[in-house]
């Protein structure tokens, strides 16, 4: 893979991750705004074991669909970054990036996985709170007007952090190798197997500074000289 192709690969992957992260943020904001439509009333009375309980009545809102789609997109973005990083190691050149860069990239990828799992859990929990349901009053005998709003807000903030970590790990793990030889690892192994390094092969093909030396005349053996 050439240097230009590797750079294009990094740009494409980071662009896709950034776009998916932007969509997740938009869906998170839309879901948080839609939670205000869930609460209907707190005047419904249910008979439970002979007692009267006041229930908070909620209806389904667009936050349900927004939360589920946002969770799926956040997980898709993380899987795409991980897959691209694994593919880059399969097709890498024999000149690997610096060890520190690789370790930091792996660490960022691991942290992003943890944050994405939290984001998915928060979006799913917020979506579950925006279905048709009845819930009891809180400890202060009130109904939460915006059920799941705090969950969507937290998930949106964490999704921004996860997107930044994904792009950072992508740049570090898919970074262009140092300038120089981009000879594939398999070709280098073949050269080493023949016992003839590349520098020696080049020296045999071209002699720097002039024409190749003339072939030396074969020496006569002592037996041939006696016959002459």
pLDDT 10s digits, 153-167? 999 999 999 999 998
pTM, entire model: 0.67
pLDDT for 67: 93
Q: Is 170 among the domain residues?
A: yes
Output 63 or 1, whichever has higher pLDDT.
Answer: 63
143: helix, coil or strand?
A: coil
Domain count, the chain: 1
Q: In the numeric block, which tokens belong to residue 225?
A: 């000289």
Residue 95 falls inside a structural domain? yes
DSSP H or E segment with residue 203: helix 198-205
Q: 66-94 pLDDT, tens per residue?
A: 999 999 999 999 998 888 877 665 444 44
Residue 171: which domain range?
A: 3-175
Instruction: Count Cβ atoms below 10 Å from residue 75 Cβ, excluding itself.
Output: 17
Question: Are the C-beta atoms of 162 and 70 separated by less than 8 Å?
Answer: no
Q: Does residue 189 lie within any of the structural domains? A: no
**pLDDT value for 9:** 75
């Amino acid at each position: 893979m050439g240097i230009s192709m590797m750079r294009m690969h990094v740009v494409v992957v980071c662009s896709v991750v950034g776009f998916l992260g932007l969509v997740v943020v938009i869906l998170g904001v839309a879901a948080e705004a839609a939670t205000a439509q869930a609460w209907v009333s707190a005047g419904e009375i249910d008979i439970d074991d002979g007692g009267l309980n006041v229930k908070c009545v909620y209806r389904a809102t667009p936050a349900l669909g927004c939360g589920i789609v946002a969770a799926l997109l956040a997980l898709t973005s993380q899987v795409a970054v991980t897959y691209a990083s694994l593919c880059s190691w399969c097709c890498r050149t024999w000149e690997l990036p610096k060890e520190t860069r690789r370790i930091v990239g792996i660490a960022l990828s691991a942290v992003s996985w943890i944050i994405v799992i939290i984001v998915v859990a928060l979006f799913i929990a917020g979506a579950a709170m925006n279905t048709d349901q009845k819930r009891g009053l809180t400890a202060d005998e009130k109904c939460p007007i915006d059920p799941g709003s705090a969950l969507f807000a937290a998930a949106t903030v964490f999704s921004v952090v996860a997107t930044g970590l994904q792009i950072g790990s992508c740049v570090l793990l898919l970074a262009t190798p140092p300038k120089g030889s981009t000879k594939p690892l398999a070709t280098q192994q073949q050269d080493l197997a023949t016992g003839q390094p590349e520098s020696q092969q080049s020296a045999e093909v071209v002699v720097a500074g002039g024409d190749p030396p003339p072939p030396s005349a074969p020496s006569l053996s002592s037996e041939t000289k006696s016959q002459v």
